Structure 1
Amino acid sequence: MTTQLTRTPELAGLDGMWDPEVVTVVGASADTSKWGWFLARGALRGAGRRTVHLVNRRGVDVEGVPTVRSLEEIDGPLGLVVLSVPAASVPEVVEEALRRGATGFLGITAGIDRAVGRVGAERELAERIRSAGARIIGPNCLGIFDVETDLHLAWGEFAPGHIGVVSQSGQLGSEIAGLAAQRGLGVSRFVSVGNQVDVSAAEALAALADHDRTRVAILYAESFGDGTAVVDAVQRLRAAGKQTVVLTVGASGASQAAAASHTGSMTSGMDIVDAACRAAGAIRVATPTQAVELAALLSQAPLPTGGRVALIADSGGQGAVAADVADAAGLDVVPFSDERRGLVAGLLPADAGVGNPIDLAGGGEQDLATYARVVETCLEDTEVDAVVLSGYFGSYAVDTPAQADQERAVVETLAAAVAGHGKPVLLHSMCTDSSSLDRARELGLPVFASIEAALHALAGAARIGRDARPISVPQLPVELPRVRPGYLAARELLQTVGIAFPGAAEVRTVETVRVATEQLQGPWVLKADWIEHKTEHGAVVIGLRDADAAVAAFEEMHARLGDGAYVLEEMDQRSQTVEVIAGLRHDAAFGPVIMVGAGGTEAELWRDTVLELAPVTVETAHTMLERLVSYRLLTGWRGRPGVDLDALARTVSALSQLAGVPGVGEVEVNPLRAAADGVLAVDALVIQEKEQP
C-alpha cells in the first residue's frame, strides 16, 4: 500500500538535508564495491534517529536489512531521497518521489544530460524539483555527512571533528576530510555540492554558521557562480565567530577575459578572489594540506590580532630557520625591548640567546618548566601577537618516559597561559606523536610537524584578522550625468563624484581652437575625444605653447582622423609628480572591483596593481596604495617630495562609488598625476555597460 502525500510548493530550506526525518536510498546495493552499499550502510547508521528505506530493484537484503523493489512499496513519507541509480533512470525516480512528497534529493549519479540525450536535462530536473518545493544537492556529488545528526550519506569514512567542509569536487573534499582526520581534527559536516544545479556551495557554506559543531569552514571551489553569495556566507560565518579557509584553482567567471580597458588586462581572476576573501574576512590557500593546517590553528587557538611573533627554539639553528620562514611568510619577528630581554635572560643559562628568536641553550632540558616560563614572558609583551615554540618539546614523554608527567604539566600551564592572555601559542615538535602532544591537542594548543607549516598557518590567521573589511555603501550625488562615450563625457561623470581634471574645452574647428586658447591657460594638450587609447593612435599631442601651435596640431590631427569632437585641455606642468592608474570594472562572479596601480604609458609593463571589491572607503583606498610596490614613489623617493596621499585615496574612493551605477561598464583613469599639492586626472575612459540579452 502506498500513501500519496501532497505538499505546498513552497521552496524548502536546507535543514531537512542535514537532519531528515526519513532517508530513502534508491539504488541500495549488497555489493561492497558499489556506491549503493556505502550509501545504504551510512544511512543505516542513523536508523536510531530516523526512518530509513532501502530500494533495490532485485529486493536483496543489504547489511541484513530487507529492501523494497520500488518506491511504490514504501508506505509513508520518503523524506530525503538519495539517487544512486543509472543516469537514464533518474528523471523517472524523481517524478515518482515528487508525487510522493519527497522533501529533498541527494544526487550521486553523474552524466544525466548524456544519458537522456539532452543538454540541460539536469537543470530542467532541478527546476522541476524546486517547483515542487523540494531541493537537490548535486547531481554528480560524493554525498553529505553530519556528525550532529548521525547522517552519513557519502562514500568513505569520516572522523568526527569540528571542521565543516564544502567542496565542489567530491574527491578533493574527501582528501581534505582525510587530512583533517590524520591531524586528529575530523569534520563536523561534509557537503559535496557536485554540479550545483540547485543548492550552491555558498548556500551550504552559509548553513554552517548555525551548525553548533562547526568551528571553522573549508571551502573548495573551482568556480564561484554568484560570488557575492559566497562573500555573504563568509561574513555570516564570521558574525557567528567562525573563520573560513578558501581553496581554489581557478578564477572568477569571466574575469580571465581581458577587458576593454587596461583595468581588465592588468589583473587576474585570482586577484579578484583574493579581494573577495579580504572583503569577506576569509583567507585563500593553495593546497589541501595548507587548508587543513590553517584550519587546525583556527579551530583550536585564539585569532591573532596581528602578525608580530615571538620565536622560541631549543637551538640557535632552529631559531634562525624559524626567523627566515616567518619573514618570508610576512610575519614580523619583533625585536625585544631591553626590559623584555632582561626578563628572558633571568630565566635562561648565561649563554642563551635572549633576543627574538630566543635560543633556550639547554634551559628547557635543565628544567622543563622553563618552557612555560619563557612562553608566558613573551605572551606578556604587548608587542607580541603570537608565540611559536619550536624544537624538542613534546619529545620528553617518548625519549625520557620518567618526564612524561612533567611535560604534560607544562602543556597544561601553556594552555592556561593562552586562555589568560588570549594569544595563540603554536607548537612545532620534532616528535611525531606523544602523550604530551596528545594533551596539547586536547587543550587546544595546535601542534605542527614542520616549522613552515606552523608559521604559514600563523601568517594566514594573522591576515584574517588584519585584512577583513566591510564593503562600503556608495555615496553618490542625487543625479549623475547620462553615461555617454568619449573623453568629455567621462570627465563630466567623474567630476560629478569629485575627481579633479584640468580645464578643457570642446573644439571642432580652427576658430573654436583659437577661442579655447584665449579661455584656457597654456600650454595645452589636444586630444581626439572619441578615441579610447589615444597614445596608440596618435590621438593626443602635448606641449602646445601658443595658439598657432594648437591650430597646427588640430589641423594635422583632423586631417588624419576626420570630423568629430576634439578636446583642448590645460597641460599639467607640475614637476615631481607620480603617475597612477585607477580603474573600475564588473567581475562576472563578484561584481564591481576597483583597481589602483602604477600608471602612465608603461602601466601594463610594470603590472603593479592591487584590487578590492567596490566601493571602498578612503581608509581602504589608503591600504590599497600601501600595498603597491611603487608606494615608495608616492611617499618620496631619493629626496623627491611625497604626494598628497589623502587626495589620492579620496580620488580612488570616489571612483569606486560608481560601482553598480546603471550604464557604467568599465571606468579607467590613466594617468592620475599625483603631487604634493593634489591629484589631477588627465585622461579617462568610461565604457558603457553592455545590454544583457
Structure 2
Amino acid sequence: MIFSDPASVAVVGASDDPAKWGHWLARGALAGSSRRAVHLVNHGGGSVLSQPTVRSLSELPSAPELVVLAVPAAHVPAVVDEALAVGVRGFVGITSGIDDRVIGRIRSAGARMLGPNCLGVFDAATSLHLAWGQFQPGSLGVVSQSGQVGLEIAGLAAASGIGVSRFVSVGSQVDVTAAEALLDLVSHDMTTVVGIYLESFGPGIVTAMSELRAAGKPVVLLTVGSSTAAQEAALSHTGALTSPLDVVDAACRRAGAVRVATPAALADLAAVLSSGPPRGARVGVVSDSGGQGAIAADLAVAAGLTVPALSAVDGLPVGVSSRNPIDLAGAGEQDLVNYSRVVEVLVRGGEVDTVVLSGYFGSYGEDTPSLEVSEVAVASRICALARETGVPVVVHSMRPDSAAVRALRAGGVPVQHTIERAVAALGDAARFGALDQRSVGAPTGQELSVLPGRIEAGGPPGGDACVSLPTTAAPYRPGYLAARELLGFVRFPRAHVVTSAAEAKATTLTGPYALKADWLAHKSEHGGVKINVTDPAAAFEEMRARLGPGTYVLEEMDTRENTVELIIGAKRDHSFGPVILVGAGGIHAELFRDTAIELAPVTPATAREMLARLVSAPLLSGWRGAPEPDVTALAQVIAQISETLVARPDLAEIELNPVRVGPDGVLAVDALIIPSGDTLNDTSGRRVA
C-alpha cells in the first residue's frame, strides 16, 4: 500500500509558488490530510499553503512512509540519504536526472522508488493526490510512461464522464515498473477498466494485462510501437516481415487487451467498457434523421461491426419501421419518450449487441428549455436500460454539453459530439468479444524472466513459466544442413553433400535437382541456389567457380502439384520474447507481406487461426477446385517451430522458407537458423560476432 495508501507522506520541496511543482504536490497532499499525516518540507522553513513546514526530514517525530522528491537533482542525494537514515521506505521521484548511484542506495536499503522523471500518483479511493494537475474520480485506472500523455488521458476521461480511479506515472521505471503498477490494479475495487500508455515494454507486461483481464477489468493499450522486432537488421525474411506494432498486437491478443492509436480513442473506448465489453459486433442504429442513421450505419460497417436486419418487433412507435437503421421519422418530436422506447426494443430484443443513438437527442432542452426535464428523464431511462440489460448504448449528440448529455454520462452512457468517435469506440469494444482466449497464463521467454509483484517495499518476487520444455541441446552450428538436423520433426527433400563434380554426377537422388550453397542465408539473391537441375556435375562446377569452396547440397526438387508456398518464422523479440510468424512465402514474401504473428509458443489450434487470418487463406482450402492442402500437418509444424525457439535460448531466429504444403503433407525446401548473439555474413557464411 506504500504507493496507494501510505499512512504518512512528506513533500520535500513544498512551495507557495503556484508555478512550481512543490506547490501542486503540497496542495494535493494536504487534500488527503484527513486520512494520513502530511508533512511539508522546505529548506527555508516558514509556511506553505498556510501550513507549517520543517527544514529537513530529520526534524519530523517519525519517518514518513512515502516521500515526494520535488527538489533539483543536485539536492536529491542528500535528501535520499537523510530519508533512508530515518527509515523512509518509499519515494516518488518527480525530479529528472537522479543519479544511478542514488537509485542503488534506495534499492540496497530495501526501499522503492516510483519514477524518477514522473508526474506522480493519484488514488481516488484513498484520497492520495501526489501529482501535478486535477483528477475527476471515476473508474479508469491509468498507468502511463509519459506523465503528460497520462494527464491528457485523465482529462479526456473526465470529459467523457468516467473519471480516474488511480493514476500512476511510472516515468523512467528505474525501480517500480509499469507491470507492477498494473498488477496493483487487479485488486483495486474502484478500477473497472485500465488504460495504459507505454513507449517500451519490460518484463511482465503481458502477465499483468492477462491478470487484469482475468479479473474482469478490460485493458486498453496506447503505444508508439517500441517493440524492437523490426528495429534491428536481420538476414531472415522473418525480421523484415515483423513490425513493432505487429508484435504489440500479438501481445495484446495473448493478454486479452486491445490497442488503440490515440488518447481520445483510449478514453472513448474506456467509457464504453466501463460497464463491461459488448457480447458481439451486431449494432442497432437509431436516429431521428435518415441521413445521420445512414452515415452511422456506414461507419459501423467500416469499423468492423454488422448492422443486421431486424425481425418484425413489437413496441415501436406508430410509423416507425423495424428496418435497421431505425429512423424515428418525427416520432421523437411528437413524444421524447419514443427515444427510450426504441432503445428498449433493441436492448431487450436479443438481435443486437450494442446500440447507437445518433442525432438531435440532447438538444431539446437547450433549444426549448421547457423540454429539459422531460429530456433528462428519457436520458435517465436509457441509462437504466443499458445497466439492466448489459447492452452498451452510445449516444451521438449534436450538443456537447447539455443537461441530458450530462445525465447520460452520469448514468454510464457514453456521449460523443461526432458520430465517427461514437462508432469507432463501439468497433474497438467489439474487438474484446473476438479476442483470442487460447492461452492459459503468460507466454514464455523474456516476458517471464521477471514477473513483478504488487508495489511494496522490498522488491518484486519472481514467477513461474507456463510451459516446461527441454532447453539443453548441443550448440547450433550455422548452415542449411545443420538446420535440417535440428528441425528433425520437419520433412525435407532427400539430399546429400557434394564436394566434387564426380560426386554430383554419381548421385543416387532422383532428378530434377536443386543445388544449394549450404552457408548462404538468402540463396537466390546471391546465386547460391539452382533449381530444375538436370546435369548436377555441370551445375556444381559453375556454382563452385563463382562462390568458392564450401559445403554444397544436392537435393531432390519438390515436383508435387497443387502445393502452396508459405514462410514459417520464429524470432526472439527483445520486449516480448519469442514470436512466431506465418505468411505467404517464397522469394516474394517481403513483397506481399501477407503475414500473421503471435507470441510463442502457440498450439496447433492457434496456428490454424493464424493461417485463417492470411489474405491468401483461400489457397489453403481448395481454391478453385484444387485439392485441399494438409492444413492439419502445417499447423503442427508451426506449433513445433514456436516451441523449439522457446526451448532453445541459444537461437535467435528460425525460418523455413519456402514451406510447400500439399494434399499429402508439408515439405520445407529451405531453412535458416541464426544463433543468439551471432550475425551471419550473408556471402561467406562465416560468423562475424
TM-score normalised to structure 2 length: 0.90
Aligned partner of 1:627 in structure 2 is 613
2:325 maps to which of 337, 343, 357? 357
Q: Which amino acid aligns with 1:431?
A: R
Q: Following TM superposition, where does structure 1 have runs of at least 4 consecutive aligned residues deviating by more than 4 angstroms?
A: 380-383, 400-406, 471-482, 636-642
Taking the aligned partners of 1:475 and 1:176, their CA distance within structure 2 comes to 40
- Give 2:287's match in structure 1, choosing from 298, 305, 313: 313
Q: Of residues 318, 333, 343 in structure 1, which corresponds to 2:313?
A: 343
- Indicate how the Cα distance of structure 1 residues 676 and 308 shifts in structure 2: closer, same or farther if over 3 A, else same: farther
The equivalent of 1:690 in structure 2 is 677
Distance 1:214 1:418 in 2: 20
Superposed CA deviations along residues 504-548 of structure 1, whole A, max 9, x for unmatched, are 2233334443454x2x33322111212111101111111134xxx
Which of these residues, 571, 577, 583, is aligned with residue 557 of structure 2? 571
Provide the residue aligned with 2:412 in structure 1.
444
Structure 2 residue 456 is the aligned partner of structure 1 residue 487: no
The structure-2 alpha-carbon separation of the partners of 1:591 and 1:477, relative to structure 1 and needing over 3 Å to count, comes to: closer
The DSSP-based 3-state class of the residue aligned with 1:673 is: strand
User: Structure 1 residues 386-395 or 640-649, which shifts more?
Assistant: 640-649
Distance 2:403 2:326 in 1: 26
Tell me the equivalent position of 1:543. 532
Amino acid at match of 1:220: Y
The answer to whether the Cα contact below 8 Å between 1:475 and 1:657 also exists between their aligned partners in 2 is no
Quickly say closer, same or farther: Cα 1:474–1:81, change in 2 above 3 A.
closer
**Do 1:164 and 1:187's aligned partners in 2 also have CA atoms closer than 8 Å?**
yes
Q: Give the direction of change, closer, same or farther, for the CA distance of 1:479–1:231 in structure 2 (3 Å limit).
A: closer
Partner of 2:305: 331
Match of 2:276 among 302, 321, 326: 302
Q: Percent identity?
A: 56
1:225 to 185, 202, 205: 202
Answering whether residue 231 of structure 2 is matched by residue 259 of structure 1, we say: no
1:502 equivalenced with 2:488 (yes/no) = no
Q: TM-score, normalised by structure 1?
A: 0.89
- Alignment partner for residue 658 of structure 2, among 652, 671, 690? 671
Matching residue within 453, 460, 463 for 2:428: 460
Map 1:190-269; keep pairs closer than 5 Å: 190-226=167-203, 229-253=204-228, 255-269=230-244
SS at match of 1:210: coil
Paired letter, 2:304? G
SS of residue in 1 equivalent to 2:186: helix
SS of 1:92's equivalent in the other structure is helix
The answer on whether the counterparts of 2:160 and 2:409 sit within 8 Å (CA) in structure 1 is no
Q: Distance in 2 between matches of 1:225 and 1:593?
A: 16
Match of 1:278 among 217, 236, 253: 253
**Structure 1 residue 303: deviation in Å?**
0.9
Match of 1:11 in 2: none
* Structure 2: tracts of 5 or more residues without a match: 444-465, 680-688
Contact 1:474 1:657 in 2 (8 A): no
Stretch of structure 1 that moved more, 426-435 or 152-161: 426-435
Alignment of structure 1 residues 372-521 onto 2, 5 Å:
372-469=340-437, 470=439, 482-496=475-489, 499-516=490-507, 518=508, 520-521=509-510
Query: Is the 1:390–1:451 Cα contact (8 Å) retained in structure 2?
Result: yes
* Structure 1 residue corresponding to 2:76, chosen from 90, 99, 109: 90
**What is residue 463 of structure 2 aligned with on the other side?**
none
Give 1:420 shift.
4.3
Q: Does 1:59 align with 2:45?
A: yes
Query: More displaced, 273-282 or 384-393?
Result: 384-393
Partner amino acid for 2:504? V
Q: Is the 8 A contact 2:471 2:649 kept in 1?
A: no
Q: Closer, same or farther in 2 for the Cα pair 1:36/1:413, shift >3 Å?
A: closer
Q: How many residues align?
A: 654
Compared CA separation, residues 318 and 263, structure 1 to 2 (3 A): same
Distance in 2 between the 1:381 and 1:646 partners? 40
Higher relative contact order (CA 8 A, sep 6+): 2
Specify the alignment match of 2:683 in structure 1. none
1:206 is displaced (CA, Å) by 1.6
SS of alignment partner, residue 674 of structure 2: strand
Please name the residue that 2:88 is paired with: 102
Supply the distance in 1 between the matched residues of 2:491 and 2:282 (Cα, whole angstroms). Answer: 40
Pick aligned residue for 1:528 from 490, 496, 517: 517
Q: Secondary structure at the match of 2:633?
A: helix
Moved more, 280-289 or 383-392: 383-392
Tell me the alpha carbon deviations over residues 440-486 of structure 1, each in whole angstroms, 9 at most, x when there is no partner.
33332222222111111111111122124326766868986653211
Q: Specify the SS of the correspondent of 1:41.
A: helix
Letter in 1 for 2:434: R
CA separation of 1:654 and 1:365: change in aligned 2, threshold 3 A: farther
SS of structure 1 residue aligned to 2:476: coil
| 2:675 partner letter | Q
Unaligned runs of 5+ in 1: 1-14, 113-120
- CA positional deviation for 1:255: 4.0
Task: Decide whether the 8 Å contact of 2:230 with 2:240 is kept in 1.
Answer: no
SS in 1 for 2:200: coil
Distance 2:662 2:329 in 1: 53
Residues 602 and 643, structure 2, Cα contact 8 Å, conserved in 1: yes
Say whether residues 1:50 and 2:36 are aligned partners. Answer: yes
Q: Displacement of 1:98 after TM fit?
A: 0.4
Instruction: Tell me what 1:10 maps to.
Output: none
Q: 1:252 to 1:376 in 2, by over 3 A?
A: same
- SS class of match (2:2): helix
What's the secondary structure of 2:277's corresponding residue?
A: coil
Structure 1 residue 191, shift from structure 2 partner: 1.1
Q: Using the alignment, how far apart are the partners of 1:383 and 1:616 within structure 2?
A: 35
Alignment of 1:113-128 (within 5 A): 121=99, 123-128=100-105
Partner residue, 2:461: none
Per-residue CA distance 1:176-213 (angstroms, 9 max, x = gap): 11122222222111111111111111211221111111
User: Which among 602, 606, 609 is matched to residue 616 of structure 1?
Assistant: 602
- In 2, distance between residues paired with 1:640 and 1:365? 59
Q: Does 1:141 align with 2:127?
A: no
Report what 2:572 is aligned to. 586
Give the CA deviation at 1:317.
Answer: 0.9
> Contact (CA 8 Å) 2:316, 2:345: kept in 1 or not?
no
